[in-house]
Every structure is written in structure tokens, then in C-alpha cells.
Structure 1
Amino acid sequence: MLGVLGDLVEDVVVWVDGPLRHGTDSAARVFRRRGGSAANVARFAAGQYPARFLGCVGEDAVGDGVVAELAGHGVDVRVSRRGRTGSVVVLIDRDGERTMLPDRGAATLLERVPDEWLADLTHLHVPAYSFDGEPVGSTAVDALARVRSAGGTTSVDASSTGMLEQYGRERFLALLTGLAPTLVFANRSESAYLGLLVDGLPGPERDRLAATTVVTKAGAAATTVDVPGEEPFTVPVTPVAQVRDLTGAGDAFAAGFLAGFLETGDLRLAAGLGHRSAARVLASPGASCGEG
């Protein structure tokens, strides 16, 4: 079973109709969706591979709603209940690009994961957001170490260049070096910022992750898979007819990739499945499929 540890929140997705007009009204459409990077991965993976979500939500009606929504997609949801469920305002421009205003709330309050939550996990995936804040940061490191010591594989998603800058480049690289995950997912900007892949070639920090396969996404351009000790290879992306909202596309990619990797061990096939999964979310609001 695939485990995913991290945020489960409410997304308030705003499709802005034209440029924002400071100090007055701007036309928009507003959608409320269940969100959270980790929850998105679990949701999209569940249709392809057994998935379990591990996290914390508030003792409130919003928490009840996002847990029920995620479980409704077949995810085995394990949550503690503390504080107030987080929310993220996601502003989407006409090109589909996102500006996010996160208030993670209870998502940062996850304490040590019970043994039974990790039982039967063959892989644990953690978005980098989960390392930002305590006690969830220490909880994520501990859970990854426990799954690895039990013989499982692990992965980390770099999540956001803004988050990495706030966390600290050297601090994050040191964290990855200690965790030695099986896979690291990043987009082109994140990979270059960390010095892992620059202009399609292994970057100056690549040797620090000597046992880790680095998967670098590049939007509509080909994804690069850099396996330790081998030449990086690329997997092209099939063109998508409509792109209205990029929210959750990276999470959907990770879900499809991990499902394929865990099922077959074939990295090239896994990347193709990741692309196909990501394409499903690009025309609808937030991390959803075909919901207007």
C-alpha cells in the first residue's frame, strides 16, 4: 500500500477573469474544493493503487467534510483531530497559473504516527510542505525513517520554490541527504534551485543524493528521469487540449508515477502514467477532475 503523509485542507479556488484590479472589484468565479498536496496524491493514486492518507485536521465541520470527501475516493484516511482545519486561497490567472495563500492550520499539528498507520505500507510519499512547521516536520522525518527501516521505499516532492526558499536551500539539501529517499520529484525551477538538474544535466548538488532517482517535470516539455549511475533520460508529454487550472497537476503526476512504479518498477512507464494522470486535472477547478 502507498502511504502519503501531509496536508488535508480546504481550497478556495478563485478563477480571476482578467488582471486583478487593486482597490476595487475584479470579476471572478469561486470554487470550494478539498485540497492539500498530500491528500491530492492519495486521492489520485487511489484509483490506480491502494492508498492511505496520514494527517491532521481540525475538530470542526470543515475537517469532517474534507475527510469524507477524501474517503469517498477510496482512500484509507487516518487523521488525528486538533485545532482548526487549514485553508488555502488559490488565485488562478487566465493562463492557469497559481498564486497560493496558505493557512495550513491543523495540518502542522500532526504528532508521531501510530504504528498501525504505517502497517502494510510498502512506500511512503511526503510533500516538502510537511517539513515546514512543527510538530509535523519531525513527524514526517520519523515516519519516513520507520518505513525505510521496515524495508519500504520512500519519496519526497520538492513542492514549491517559495517554500524551499523559506525553509532554506542548504537546510533542505541536508534533510534530503539524511533521508536518502528512493525518489525525489521536482519541477524544473525547484530542481535547478536545489542544484539537482540544471538545463537537463545533473547539477552541482546531484552527488549528495547518490542513491536517489530525481524526477524533474517541465510542464508541457518532457520529464527528465535521472537514475543514479546512469545517463538521464526524458519522457515526452502528450499535448493537452485545454489548460485552465494547474492546481494539483504535480500531485496528480506524482500519484500516477508512484502507482506505476510500485506496480511495475518501470520508471519510463511510471512517468508516462504520471503525465496521463496530470492531464486529467488541467481543465477543472483545483485538484479535481471534470468538476466545474
Structure 2
Amino acid sequence: MLVVVGDLLEDIVVWATEPIRAATDSAAQVFRSRGGSAANVAAHAAARTPTRFIGRVGDDGAGAALVSALAASGVDLRVQREGRTGAVVLVVAPDGERTMFPDRAAAAELSGVEPRWLDGVAWLHVPSYGFEHEPMRGEVRRLVALARDRGARVSIDASSTGLLEGLGVARVLGWLAQLRPDVLFANEAEAERLGVDGGGEVAASVAARVVVKHGPEPTDVFDAGERVARVPVPPVAAVRDLTGAGDAFAAGYLAAAIDGADATAACATGHALAASVIASAGGDIPHG
């Protein structure tokens, strides 16, 4: 089973329909959907491999609705309920690029997870948002250790340049070197911040495999710091909202890898799944 640990949040997506003008009105469409990086990965992976989500939401109506929505995607949920459910406001420019305003609230307070919630784990995936605050940071590290003890593989997503800079790049590199994931996912900007964009010693020190995404350009795969694959990205007809594209890629890659795919095939599956979300609002599974 793939187990994903992290955020289950409400996404409030603002699609600007004209260039954004500061300090005045800008025309937009507003959507609400189930969000959270870890929840996105779980929702997309569940149709392809047995998937469990571990996280925390508030003891409120918003939390209940999010749990119900994620369960409807076929995900097996293990969720703590206390406090206030978090949300993210995403302002998406007409070119598809987005600016995010997260309020993780209860999601960042995950702690005391029962070890049996990891029963059956073959692969544990963690977005780096889980390292932003205590107590969740320490809890994620504990879950990684427990998963390793059970023989599971581990992957970590770099998640956000803002997050990396806020935590401190040197600090994050130290954590990665200690946790030594089997796979580290990063987009081009995140890889540059971490110094792993071209492979080399830094990449070799933080993960057995580093997967670097370059948007529409080929994805690079580095094993022990050496590039072993460069996987083309098929063109897409339209890009409207990049929210969740990286999560969908990770879901496709992980589901394929669990099924025995090599790096090239896993990336190709990730590319196909990412392409399915970038024409719709937010990172949830497209409907209709």
C-alpha cells in the first residue's frame, strides 16, 4: 500500500480572468475544492494502487466535508479530528502561474499517530510541507523511521521554494541527508535552490534518486548523482492552472513504481496524470 502523510485542506482558487491590477478590482472566477498536497497525491494514486492517507483536520463541518470528498476518491483514510480545518487561497494568473496563501491550521498539528496506521505500507510519501512546523515535523520523521523498519520505500517532495527558503536550505539538506529518501521530487526552481538540479555530490547525498521536473521540458532522473534518464513531456493543449500538477506527477510516478515500472515509465505515467489537472481549477481530480 502507498501511504501518504500530510495536508488535507480546502482550496479557495481565484482564477484571474484579466491581468491582476494591484490595489483595485480584477475580474475573476472563484472555485472551492478539496486540496492539500498530500491529499492530492493520495486522491490521484488511489485509482491506480491501494492508497492510504494519514493527516489531521479540524473538528468542524469543513473537515468532515474534506474527509468525505477524499474518501470518495477511493482513499483509505486515517484522520485525526481536532481544532480548525486549514485552507489555502490560490490566486492564479491568466498564464496559469499561481500564488498561494496557506493557513494549515490543524493539518500542521499532526502528532501521536498510531503505528498500526502504517500496517501494509510498501511506500511512504511525504510532501515537505510536513516539515514546516512542530509537532508535525517530529511526527513525520518518526513515521519515516517506522516505515523503514517495515521495509517500506520512502519519497519526499521538495514542495515549495518559499518553504525551502523559510526553513533554510542548509537545514533542509541536513534533514534529507538524515532521512535519505529513496526518491526526492523537485521542480526546476526547487532543485536549483537545493543545488541538485544537475545531479552531482549534493544530489547523491540527499536521496538515492532525485527526479527533477522542468515544466514542459524533459524530466531528469539522477541515481547516486548521475543522470540515468531524461524523459520527454508530451505537449498539452491548454494550461490554465498549475496547482496540483506536481502532486499528480508524484501520484502517477509512485503508482507505476510500486507496480515495478522503471524510471522512464514511471515519469511517463506521472506526466500523463499531471496533464490531466492543469486545465481545471485546483489540484483535485477533474470532474465533468
- Output the TM-score relative to the length of structure 2: 0.97
1:89-100 aligned within 5 A: 89-100=89-100
Q: 2:223 aligns with which of 217, 227, 231?
A: 227
Instruction: Check the 8 A contact 1:183/1:213 in 2, yes or no.
Output: yes
1:243: which partner in 2? 239
| Range with bigger deviation, 77-86 or 13-22 | 13-22
C-alpha displacement of 1:288? 2.9
Residue number in structure 1 paired with 2:22: 22
The aligned residue for residue 146 of structure 2 is 146
Q: 2:203 aligns with which of 186, 202, 206?
A: 206
SS of structure 2 residue aligned to 1:186: strand
Letter in 2 for 1:240: V
* C-alpha deviation, 1:227, in angstroms: 1.2
CA RMSD of superposed structures (Å): 1.3
Helix, strand or coil: the match of 2:112? coil
Q: Mind listing any 5+ residue stretches in structure 1 that lack a counterpart?
A: none
1:193 Cα offset (Å): 0.8
Query: Aligned equivalents of 2:200 and 2:248: distance in 1?
Result: 26
Work out whether residues 40 and 251 of structure 1, in 8 Å CA contact, stay in contact via their aligned partners in 2. Answer: yes
Match of 2:168 in 1: 168
Distance across 2 between alignment mates of 1:44 and 1:207: 29
The answer on whether the counterparts of 1:195 and 1:204 sit within 8 Å (CA) in structure 2 is no
1:266 Cα deviation after fit: 1.2
Name the CA shift for 1:8/1:87 in 2 (closer, same or farther; >3 Å): same
Q: Does 1:261 align with 2:257?
A: yes
- Report how far residue 261 of structure 1 moved: 0.4
The C-alpha deviation readout for 1:227-253, integer Å capped at 9, x for no partner, is: 126443200000000110100000000
Deviation (angstroms), 1:18: 1.5
Task: Extract unaligned runs of 5+ from structure 2.
Answer: none
Aligned to 2:195: 195
Secondary structure of 2:259's partner? helix
Give the TM-score normalised by the residue count of structure 1.
0.96
Taking the aligned partners of 2:83 and 2:266, their CA distance within structure 1 comes to 38
CA displacement at 1:203 relative to structure 2: 4.3
* 1:123 matched residue in structure 2: 123
Could you give the per-residue CA deviations for residues 237-283 of structure 1, whole angstroms, max 9, x where no partner exists?
Answer: 00000110100000000000000001014111100000001011011
Contact in 1 for aligned 2:203/2:224 (Cα 8 Å): no
Specify the code of the residue in structure 1 equivalent to 2:160: S
- Is the 1:16–1:93 Cα contact (8 Å) retained in structure 2? yes
User: Residue 148 of structure 1 aligns to a residue in which SS?
Assistant: helix
The one-letter code sitting in structure 1 at the alignment partner of 2:161 is T
Q: Which amino acid aligns with 1:261?
A: A
Q: 1:283 aligns with which of 264, 271, 279?
A: 279
The count of aligned residue pairs is 288
Shift of 1:149: 1.6
**2:268 corresponds to 1:272:** yes
Using the TM superposition, give the Cα deviation of residue 204 of structure 1 relative to its aligned residue in structure 2, in angstroms. Answer: 5.1
Distance, in Å, in 2 between the alignment partners of 1:120 and 1:205 is: 32
Aligned residue runs from structure 1 range 2-151, under 5 A: 2-151=2-151
Q: Identity across aligned pairs (percent)?
A: 50
Q: CA deviation at 1:112?
A: 2.4
Q: Which amino acid aligns with 1:114?
A: E
Distance in 1 separating the partners of 2:226 and 2:22: 51
Query: Which is further off, 226-235 or 185-194?
Result: 226-235
